[in-house]
Amino acid sequence: MTENEKPDPTAESGEKLSETRFSRTRKKRDMPGGLWLKCENCGQMIYRKELEEKARVCPACEFHFTLPGRERIALLIDEGTWHEYFTEIRALDRLEFNDQVPYLDKVRRAEARTGQTEALLCGTGAIQGREVVLAVLDFSFMGGSMGEVVGEKIALACELAAKFGRPLVIFTSSGGARMHEGVLSLMQMAKTCAALSDLGDRGGFSVCVMTHPTTGGVTASFASVCDVTLAEPGALIGFAGPRVIASTIKQELPAGFQRAEFLLEKGQIDRIVRRSEMKSMLARLLDYTKGTKIPAQKKR
C-alpha cells in the first residue's frame, strides 16, 4: 500500500468509527501493560512479576507463555558457560522490500528493542555439565521469522556441532518464513534441512524443542527433522493457521487441533516436557548420546 492509498480515518462512517473505537478499548482492557497481564489461555489476570518468577508459566492454568531467547538461555545453560557465536551476521535487504516501512528499518527497530542482531541466538554452553551447541529462535525479534540470517545460523550451528562433536539443541518459536525476504527466506527451508541431514550423516545428534508458537516454514523445515522432537505443553504447532485450513477444507477442526498434545497423539512429536523439567530432561536425553563420537570423515 502506498502513502496515497492509506485509508483516511476521518472518511469512516460513524458506525465503523465506533466499532474501531470499541475494539481499541477492548484490546487495551484485555492486554494491560505494566504490572498485570491477562493469560491468553485461561483469561486469569496475572501479576507480571509472579509470571516472570515462574519462568513465564501461568500460575493458574500452567500455560507456557513465549519465552524471550535470552531468558531461555539463562534458564537452560549452566552459569558462566554460555559463549555466543555469529552475532556479526546481519540481514540484507536484497529485494529492497518496503511495506510502508522499509525492511531494514524494521530490522533496526527489532535490534534496538531486543538488544540482539537477529531472531536466532546461537552459541555453546553446558546443560547440567553436558556440553552442547544451542540455537534459540526468539519470537520477540520480528516474530522469530526465518530469513537468510536465521537459515545461515542454523547451518553454522550444525557445522559447529559437527566440529566440536557436541549435540545440537534447537528451540523454536516462530511465525514462519520472513516474507520481507521473499523466495530467499523460503530457500532457507531446504538449506536448514540439508544442514541437519549432513550433521546426521557425520554422526551428530540433534534435538528440537518446539515452543509456543511454532508455525509456517520453520515447522515445515528444520524444526521437524531433528533426531528427537520435543514440545512444551499447549504449544501451537502447525503450518497454515487453523482458520485458513477450516475455510479451505470446509470442515470443523477437531478439538485441540495443532496443539502439542494433539500432535503427540498423532506421532509428530516425541514428548511433551514442562518448562520446569526441560533442563533435566535434556540432560538425560543427552546422556543417551554419550560415547557417540563423530567420525572424522570429510564432507561429501
Give residues in contact with Zn ion (CB under 5 A).
Answer: 39, 41-42, 44, 58, 60-61, 63
Task: Give the shortest CB-44-to-Zn ion separation in angstroms.
Answer: 5
Task: Give the shortest CB-61-to-Zn ion separation in angstroms.
Answer: 3
- Shorter beta-carbon distance to Zn ion: residue 48 or 70: 48
The three cell numbers of residue 18 are 465506533
Gap between the Cα atoms of 232 and 216, Å rounded = 18
- How does DSSP assign 19-65, residue by residue? HHHHHHHHHHHHS--TTEEE-TTT--EEEHHHHHHTTTB-TTT--BP
- Shorter beta-carbon distance to Zn ion: residue 61 or 246: 61
Is the peptide bond preceding residue 233 cis, with omega within 30 degrees of 0? no
- Shorter beta-carbon distance to Zn ion: residue 49 or 113: 49
- Shorter beta-carbon distance to Zn ion: residue 58 or 154: 58
- Shorter beta-carbon distance to Zn ion: residue 58 or 228: 58
Gap between the Cα atoms of 173 and 236, Å rounded = 9
For residue 271, which phi and psi values (nearest 5 degrees)? Answer: -165, 150
Quick count: other Cβ atoms within 10 Å of Cβ 78? 14
Q: Dihedral, CA atoms, 193, 195, 200, 201, nearest 10 degrees?
A: 120
Task: Give the shortest CB-40-to-Zn ion separation in angstroms.
Answer: 8
Task: Give the shortest CB-195-to-Zn ion separation in angstroms.
Answer: 37
Task: Give the shortest CB-233-to-Zn ion separation in angstroms.
Answer: 11
